[in-house]
Amino acid sequence: MSDAVSPLATPFPELPAIAGVTPRVARAGYKDWGRCDLTYVELSQGTAVAGVFTRNVCCSSEVELGRANVARGRARALVVNAGNSNAFTGYRGREAVEQIMTQVAANLGCAQEEVFVSSTGVIGVPLPKDKARAGIEAALAADECTWEEAARTIGTTDTFPKGASAKAQLGAVQVHFSAIIKGSGMIAPDMATMLGYVFTDAAVSPEFLQECLSAANRRTFSCITVDSDTSTSDTVLAFATGKAGNEPLTSFDSPGADAFAAALEDICRQLSHLVVKDGEGAQKFIAVAVSGAVSDESARKVGLAIANSPLVKTAIAGEDANWGRVVMAVGKAGQPADRDRLSIGFGGTWAARDGQPLADYDEAPVAAHLKGREISIEVDLGLGDGRATVWTCDLTHGYISINADYRS
């Protein structure tokens, strides 16, 4: 964890314990950090798992193996290594992951494929097997830790620990969700990544859990960006222990399935916002709301073009209502748009409508809005019913300092 805390940081919330989930931390010593860097979460028998992973084709062995194992739908343990991403390390990196899976499976008496491993940190250095083995041993012998300790332990360049909770009423049974996430951007020469873990006591089939997680992902994690650079190790896993005792959910026809899916999406949105709020150099949290697109997916792509534009992000950093840069970003998005139907606003005040600056545009409320920490940009394409919201942060000197004023 970095010393300088993001101005957008929020206190770590109270997270409920989840029946069947036991987190522990240990120190493997992957980096000279003087703090725990290995997180081990034991999951009760019968825990369902679902996951979404980076689409970066240069992904790590952790991602490759995790993607394969999620297809089996069951999990007994999660191991997260912080300080070494083990990416771009060839067969040696893969052997290190397999060693961890074997070691944990032998201890629990489960299949190797039920052990999920993530790693985050420097790339190009194979994860040291001896440190991993000793770290796992220490974790297996450790006492249960708090969610906040686990959230701190999975962090690298994060400036604050990040967690969220949710609950859903399934008929007579209330189910609970607790989740932790790490991610801030990347620092030279380390490649920090977004790793998120959601734990629930709900009983749910792996297939339906995956369906809900994938849908939530499209509207949450897939709608955030800090710097447009897709990590090699991004992973979000959802684990459901079933200990709440509800009638198992298997599809949207199951009673309570809508409430469950809504709670899962809610917790994913909370987590995704926390990552943006810890974006490298972030001073402002920006929501880009796009409406009037030809489809929701088209709206998302337009939103991402705006949220990834260095010129839009620097304008917000400069508290400048530069709607011309938003026009430029809409135009380059490669999506259907009509210059003469386009409207742009900030904080609920339109600056341009139907392709022209508003004659009676009052910049005072916009200027006041832009001085705040939470900024909204509204774009109406005027073409259809497609809508999406994308979240990002501003681009500041802090980002350059973190990533350039540094020599490995």
Question: Where in 149-188 is the site for its own copies (CB under 8 A)?
Answer: 186, 188
Type and span of the H or E element at 306: helix 296-307
* Separation between Cα atoms, residue 269 and residue 192, nearest integer Å: 20
Per DSSP, the three-state class of 378 is strand
Beta bridge partners of 204: 249
CB–CB of 24/145 below 8 Å? yes
* Separation between Cα atoms, residue 280 and residue 297, nearest integer Å: 27
CB 135, min distance to its own copies, A: 23
Q: Site map for its own copies, 320-359, x if CB under 8 A?
A: xxxxxx-xxxxxx----xxxx-x---------x--xxx--
Start-end of H helices in 220-256: none
DSSP character at residue 204: B
Sole window of 7-15, 53-61, 142-150, 167-175 interacting with its own copies (rule: CB under 8 A): 53-61
Q: Is 317 in the site for its own copies (CB under 8 A)?
A: yes
Q: Is 364 in the site for its own copies (CB under 8 A)?
A: no
| The one among 318, 348, 365, 372 contacting its own copies by CB under 8 A | 318
Is 120 labeled as catalytic in the residue annotation? no
Q: Is 68 in the site for its own copies (CB under 8 A)?
A: no
- The answer to whether the annotation marks 156 as part of a ligand binding site is yes
| The one among 75, 80, 123, 236 contacting its own copies by CB under 8 A | 123
* Separation between Cα atoms, residue 182 and residue 155, nearest integer Å: 5
Cα–Cα distance list, 245 to 18, 207, 240, 260, 397 (Å): 12, 18, 11, 14, 51
Residues 6 or more apart whose CB falls under 8 angstroms from that of 201 comprise 18, 19, 20, 21, 175, 176, 240, 241, 242, 243, 244
Q: Is 310 in the site for its own copies (CB under 8 A)?
A: yes
| The one among 87, 97, 237, 393 contacting its own copies by CB under 8 A | 87
Q: Which of 157, 193, 225, 396 is catalytic?
A: 193
Sole window of 22-30, 45-53, 157-165, 226-234 interacting with its own copies (rule: CB under 8 A): 226-234
Amino acid symbol at 354: D
Q: Is 308 in the site for its own copies (CB under 8 A)?
A: yes
Question: Where in 247-306 is the site for its own copies (CB under 8 A)?
Answer: none
* Separation between Cα atoms, residue 146 and residue 149, nearest integer Å: 5
Sole window of 8-16, 85-93, 257-265, 286-294 interacting with its own copies (rule: CB under 8 A): 85-93
CB 33, min distance to its own copies, A: 19
Query: Total binding residues for its own copies by CB under 8 A?
Result: 66
Q: Which residue has the tokens 């809409």?
A: 330
Residues 6 or more apart whose CB falls under 8 angstroms from that of 374 comprise 284, 285, 287
Numbered residues of the known binding site? 156, 182, 193, 280, 403, 408
Numbered residues of the known binding site for substrate? 156, 182, 193, 280, 403, 408
Active site residues: 193
Q: Which residues bind its own copies (CB under 8 A)?
A: 55-59, 87-90, 122-125, 186, 188-189, 191, 227-232, 308-311, 314-315, 317-325, 327-332, 337-340, 342, 352, 355-357, 394-397, 399-401, 403-408
